[in-house]
Amino acid sequence: MTDSYNRQIDYVRIAVTDRCNLRCFYCMPAQGIAYEPKKELLSYEEITRILKVLGELGFKKVRFTGGEPFLRKDFMELLEHTSKIASYESIHLTSNGTLIQKHINRLKELGITKINLSIDSLNAERFHKITRRNDFKKVIQTFHLLVENGFKIKLNAVIMKGINTQDIIPLAELSKDYPIDVRFIEEMPFNGGYKENLEMYAAKDIHADLSAHYPILNKIISKHGDTANLVSVPGYKGNIGVIAAFSRTFCNTCNRLRISAKGDIKSCLYDDGVFNIRNFIRSGVSDQELMDKFSEIIRLKPKDGFIAEKMRKSPELALQSMSSIGG
């Protein structure tokens, strides 16, 4: 399925919950979070139905995210059902790594081995300051367990001025011994109202830090839909990437659609939800009607994140939390 700008849209990211056991300050406020009532969230049957319909439209990749997806009680059941939908070449997860450990064997059995793990610092104190929780040891242990078990890990770190820029090189150094992608993400203003203005540490600043430290960085050719500018240090097992999530330099190759936990479809991260698919499904529509609606939404996908932002009905980006959007 292509949109009006000839981009092939074949990747859906679904937030399976808006709940989280961490409180990363760039994502959620410390307190006063109004979670959606559980019945307002898409059920796993509704998610499976959406995935089947999108599969008919040519979608090949799905990522489950959140909130913390492993907080959802029927999450493994959802994964089992999704793994049976033939159209998906790969099922990906994004997780904070606090609750995965007991599911590692089952994930392997289901062939779900591509996990994005969020670790913003290798310093326990800074990790605590950022996540407002004391789970550093557990998350690092999860990282090692996943790597030892052959999972394909992308380690995501949001880089913030005055907070964790000193972690860039230590995190990048993980790509020396481990065959992982370490990816640095520009902070975006979706934090649930915690702060309005970002003091941006931009992708170009991160690239400059990497270039200052590593005399040679080999550029990796990007694949369909890649958001990270990937490089590698000669002799290192993994890669290092920078995601210009706020500068929005990758919109011309965007291949994705997002669905929030309560069913709001975002055809761009910067729009404010173009359609609620949960209400549509609950009104009793047929699969064909669902397919037609998705086709229409994809056709209307905005050219880039700046245009999507201009078209918003509510201008305050910061009032949304990434935990409900799904990252």
Judged by CB under 6 A, the residue of 17, 48, 96, 229 near ligand SAM is 96
188 forms part of the interface with ligand SAM (CB under 6 A): yes
State which residue, 164 or 191, has the beta carbon closest to ligand SAM. Answer: 191
- Nearest distance, CB of residue 274 and ligand SAM, angstroms: 20
Structure token pair of residue 28: 């959620």
291: left (phi over 0), alpha (psi -120 to 50) or beta: alpha
Q: Which 39-78 positions form the footprint of ligand SF4 (CB under 6 A)? A: 66-68
> How near is the Cβ of 317 to ligand SAM at its closest, in Å?
9
For CA atoms 314, 320, 322, 326, give the dihedral sign: negative
The interface partner of residue 192, options being ligand SF4, ligand SAM, none and the CB cut-off 5 to 8 Å by kind, is none
**Among 65-73, 212-220, 250-258, 288-296, the segment contacting ligand SAM (CB under 6 A):** 65-73
DSSP β-ladder status, 114-118 and 181-186: unpaired
Candidate list 68, 181, 272, 309; residue touching ligand SAM; CB under 6 A = 68
Kindly indicate which of the ranges 161-169, 187-195, 217-225, 267-275 contains the residues binding ligand SAM, using the contact rule CB under 6 A: 187-195
Residue type, 259: I
Q: Name the residue with tokens 């981009």.
A: 7
The window from 17-25, 49-57, 179-187, 295-303 that contacts ligand SF4 (CB under 6 A) reads: 17-25
Instruction: Write the CB contacts of 60 (distance below 8 Å, at least 6 apart in sequence).
Output: 10, 11, 87, 88, 89, 90
Task: Pick one of 9, 50, 112, 158: the residue that binds ligand SAM (CB under 6 A).
Answer: 158
Out of 11, 26, 143, 194, point to the residue binding ligand SAM (CB under 6 A): 26
- The encoded tokens of residue 10 equal 């074949």
Q: Under a CB-based contact definition with an 8 Å cutoff, are residues 91 and 82 in contact?
A: yes
Residue 99 beta carbon to ligand SAM: minimum distance, rounded to whole angstroms: 10
- The yes or no reply on residue 260 touching ligand SAM (CB under 6 A) is no
Q: Could you say whether residue 96 binds ligand SF4 (CB under 6 A)?
A: yes
* Nearest-5° Cα angle at 14, 66 to 311: 100
Residue 176 beta carbon to ligand SAM: minimum distance, rounded to whole angstroms:
22
CA distances (Å), 267 to each of 9, 14, 90, 117, in order?
10, 12, 21, 24
Separation in Å, CA 17 to CA 38, 73, 118, 312, 323: 9, 10, 17, 24, 8
Continuous H helices in the chain: 44-56, 75-82, 104-109, 124-131, 136-148, 168-172, 174-177, 203-213, 277-282, 287-299, 305-310, 322-325
Q: Applying CB under 6 A, which of residues 9, 12, 16, 22 lies at the interface with ligand SF4?
A: 22
Report the interface residues with ligand SAM, using CB under 6 A: 20, 26-27, 65-68, 94-96, 118, 156, 158, 185, 187-188, 190-191, 245, 322-323, 326-327
